[in-house]
Structure 1
Amino acid sequence: MLSTLRNAWKVPELRSKFYWTLFLVAIFRMGSHIPVPGVSADFLKGLTQSGSLMGFYDLISGGAFSRFSIFALGVMPYINASIITQLLTIAIPSLEQLSKEGEEGRKKIQNATRYLSIVISVILAVGMYFTISRSGATAGLTTAKMLVVITSLVVGSTFCMWLGDQITVKGFGNGVSILIFINIISRLPMTIRDLALLEDTGKISIVEIVLFIVFALAVLTGVIYFSLAERRVPVQYAGKAVGNKMMKGQSTHIPLSIVGSAVIAIIFAMSVLGFPRTIANFFPNHEWAIWVTSSPWSIFNDKTWMYPVVYAVLTIFFTWFYTQVTFKPDEMAENLHKSAGVIPGVRPGEPTERFFEKLLNRVSFIGGIFAAFLAVSPILVAQYTSFEGIQFGGTSLLIVVSVALDFTRRLESQMVMRHYKGFLK
């Protein structure tokens, strides 16, 4: 890996991409430390506990929410807009047709995603303002200053989206993913500091820290294994005549990722459980709001045993659901038939469609169980161990590993094009 990076640095074009990526990431990190005027971040510590929706936002924003910087929203509005657009593309025939019109159609959908992300950022900024107002962080602010806070959050989120696009164009890989990767990595020193403080105060022992590190490494190993794992469906393509030449048949495979929908499923499940609590924060004195946030029988109360159970079930369901709507077994079978491909031992047409349905059900179930484990692990660690307040999550590890693997593949493809030794050799 180091030799590949060294060889990539010798290529002027790739070196320029590295410079641009580092420069834009540096701007992003500096912006995450610029506070929003009029908001006291000292009141926000209790809102970002591990496993909560706000805690997840704070994690992928690199602590920008707990500091309440202008980048507190980060790229979350853009991610939400991308997910919504993708689902609408599947549900609305006109958008689905637009997505099949090549580069021009994808550009139109991308522009619509950007506009939708701005709308979502406004909604999230307003909701975030009223959420933090309960903690006293906005005490004494007038209506004009409230608009300044909301505008700062929206402009910061839009600028983050622009930075991600610039990294995609001028740097390496998916810019939005790289920004999330950098934010999660930036939390590592603070996690080490928090562990040291807990040990100094006597709340945890050295043995507990060692066990925690062993558990984290085991989770990391599992994340890497499942991120690289895939179910390969063998496909045989028949030979065909092209002009005066006879093309031979080919044998290949269709790779199906085990955890390809895991992150999206976790975000969906977290949003479903977090949305009622967010609405309840707007009406703190109502009886139903108190029941939602504090009742031991409320599935939305993250202090009860029911919360992680429901969270895990929703994660498995959304993993299955997103896998089904993304891959579409009927279209996979139809496209395979049109390209003169056949799965050995499976007849074309409806039998192939049923084969893909069963296969996707199994793959999504296995991926859903692993995603559920990653989702509830920080909640269980916070509730039943002495590591409360430590920002540890399997979801963040999954994002980090996925982005790192994507960056590795992209850089390797660049090196292979230039006849350099790649990562896998």
Structure 2
Amino acid sequence: MFDTVKKSFQYKEIRNRILFTLLMMAVIRFGSQLPVPGVNRDYFSNWFAAQQTSDAFSLFDAFTGGSFLNMSVLALNITPYITASIIIQLLTIAIPKLEEMQREGEEGRKLLISLTRYMNIGLSLIESAAMAIGFGRSGLLEEYNAVNVIMVITTLTAGSAFLMWLGERITEKGIGNGISIVLTINIISRIPSDVATLFRQFVLGQNVARATIATAVILAVIAGMVILVILLNGAEVHIPIMYSAKFKNGKSSRQDLPIKVNTAGVMPIIFAASIMEFPVIISTLVGYHGTGWWSEALKYLSSSYWCNPAQLKYSVGLIVYIILLVFFAYFYTSISFNPLEIANNLKKQGATVQGIRPGKPTQSYLENKLKYIIFIGAVGLTIIGILPFIFRGVFNANVSFGGTSLIIVVSVVLETIRQVQSMTQTVGYMKSRNRSLLA
């Protein structure tokens, strides 16, 4: 990795892209500290400390890099854009016209991006209004009136739109996928405070032996999870493909069709967590603080109560979460990986899966193969997803840097490194070629 970075700085084109990306990161972190006018910045800090069900907003705060907790102008961050992207992606399956756009190439892609932008603005308006009205009445706004509500809605929506624009500029002029880079820098910015929290809770004030053991365990767990995420992210199953129309030494050429073990990426965790947290968030926004059956039901949905030895009954919610995670692993893969389309494409190219007849048999083979691959990926995702809940429930280790965040950070870092490597090789080849032509 260090050799890749070193080589990339040798070329002006890549060096400028990296420096532009770093500059945009600095702008993002600066914007995360700018306060929204007329807002009590300590409101959410106090609210998080008082709420046991604040885990529903903890992931949101991690994704915003603490902007939500600080109630900065970037409090909504790019979460509305991510939600809009997911909705548009799902709608392409339900609406034939959108599916047509997706297959139209560059023009269709531009139209879908425009739809995502408009939906991002719409969702930002809804979310900022819910925050300004729902929390404004209970102390978020210094003065709860129409002017302050409108000002907060306008500021938060503008902040979300600005970050969307910034992400697109990073994609165009910087390194990596801009939206992913914004999300990753937000998550990484929370790591120092999480590490400090763990240090104060398990190391500070302990004797040398206990402090050493606690430090070793924390480092081992973090390292183990990172390694597991890297393995899961890079794991692939290669299906041998034979091209009968191409010959080498009288034999048909062979290539491999790679299928990622974790085909769905982090989406199953996000979907499962969103469904579990949705009732908690709605109840919080409407100001429900009851003690009846609904309040009891919310405890089953809140990960704050899972894996707690003193309240094991609430861990039923964790079982529901795992079922949802596995379901969405299969669901999301089914909409992003189409065995029928792949089988038809292979047939058109005169290619076959080794030992399998083209057409319907190939489709059936890929579908059966995919079931096992998805299951392995879902098991890996489940382990990564529930480990933070186990440590929080048993040891009260409450940090924002959980399994979801870890998968996103590792995936984006690895993908960005691959892009830098590719760009370095391409630029290096072009410069060598130009030198040869001039000679």
Question: TM-score scaled by structure 2?
Answer: 0.87
Match of 1:327 in 2: 337
Looking at structure 1, the residues matched to 160 and 422 of structure 2 have their Cα atoms a distance apart, in angstroms, of 31
CA shift for structure 1 position 196: 2.9
1:55 is the counterpart of 2:65? no
Match of 1:416 in 2: 425
Code of the aligned partner of 1:181: T
- Judging changes above 3 Å, is the alpha-carbon distance between structure 1 residues 184 and 298 closer, same or farther for their aligned structure 2 residues? closer
Looking at structure 2, the residues matched to 394 and 50 of structure 1 have their Cα atoms a distance apart, in angstroms, of 19
CA shift for structure 1 position 240: 5.7
Q: What pairs with 1:178-217 in structure 2 (closer than 5 Å)? A: 178-198=181-201, 199-200=203-204, 205-217=211-223
Match of 1:258 among 255, 258, 261: 261
Moved over 6 A (4+): 48-51
Match of 1:116 in 2: 119
Deviates more, 1:132-141 or 1:248-257: 132-141
- Judging changes above 3 Å, is the alpha-carbon distance between structure 1 residues 334 and 208 closer, same or farther for their aligned structure 2 residues? same
Looking at structure 1, the residues matched to 192 and 288 of structure 2 have their Cα atoms a distance apart, in angstroms, of 39
CA shift for structure 1 position 376: 2.2
Question: TM-score scaled by structure 1?
Answer: 0.90
Code of the aligned partner of 2:146: T
Cα-Cα RMSD: 2.6
Looking at structure 2, the residues matched to 327 and 178 of structure 1 have their Cα atoms a distance apart, in angstroms, of 25
Q: How many residue pairs align between the two structures?
A: 414
CA shift for structure 1 position 380: 2.1
CA shift for structure 1 position 391: 2.4
Match of 1:398 among 384, 403, 407: 407
Match of 2:372 in 1: 362
Match of 1:237 among 240, 243, 255: 243
Q: What pairs with 1:16-415 in structure 2 (closer than 5 Å)? A: 16-45=16-45, 46-47=47-48, 52-133=55-136, 136-138=139-141, 140-198=143-201, 199-200=203-204, 205-239=211-245, 249-285=252-288, 291-295=293-297, 298-299=300-301, 302-303=304-305, 304-388=314-398, 390-415=399-424
CA shift for structure 1 position 207: 2.2
Code of the aligned partner of 2:331: F
Contact 1:38/1:145, CA 8 A, preserved across alignment: yes
CA shift for structure 1 position 34: 0.7
Code of the aligned partner of 1:62: G
**Identical positions, percent:** 36
* Alignment gaps of 5+ in structure 2: 306-313, 430-439
Contact 2:17/2:173, CA 8 A, preserved across alignment: yes
- Judging changes above 3 Å, is the alpha-carbon distance between structure 1 residues 181 and 131 closer, same or farther for their aligned structure 2 residues? same
CA shift for structure 1 position 132: 3.6
- Judging changes above 3 Å, is the alpha-carbon distance between structure 1 residues 406 and 277 closer, same or farther for their aligned structure 2 residues? same
Deviates more, 1:53-62 or 1:137-146: 137-146
Code of the aligned partner of 1:18: I
CA shift for structure 1 position 201: 5.6
Code of the aligned partner of 2:95: I
Deviations 1:79-99 (A, max 9, x none): 111111111112222111111
Q: Give the match's secondary structure for 2:42.
A: helix
CA shift for structure 1 position 345: 1.2
Deviates more, 1:192-201 or 1:25-34: 192-201
CA shift for structure 1 position 175: 0.5
* Alignment gaps of 5+ in structure 1: 421-425
Looking at structure 2, the residues matched to 52 and 374 of structure 1 have their Cα atoms a distance apart, in angstroms, of 17
Deviations 1:169-218 (A, max 9, x none): 00011001111111111112112222232233669844223212211111
Contact 2:62/2:400, CA 8 A, preserved across alignment: yes
Code of the aligned partner of 1:224: I
CA shift for structure 1 position 131: 4.9
Contact 1:293/1:300, CA 8 A, preserved across alignment: no
- Judging changes above 3 Å, is the alpha-carbon distance between structure 1 residues 196 and 302 closer, same or farther for their aligned structure 2 residues? closer
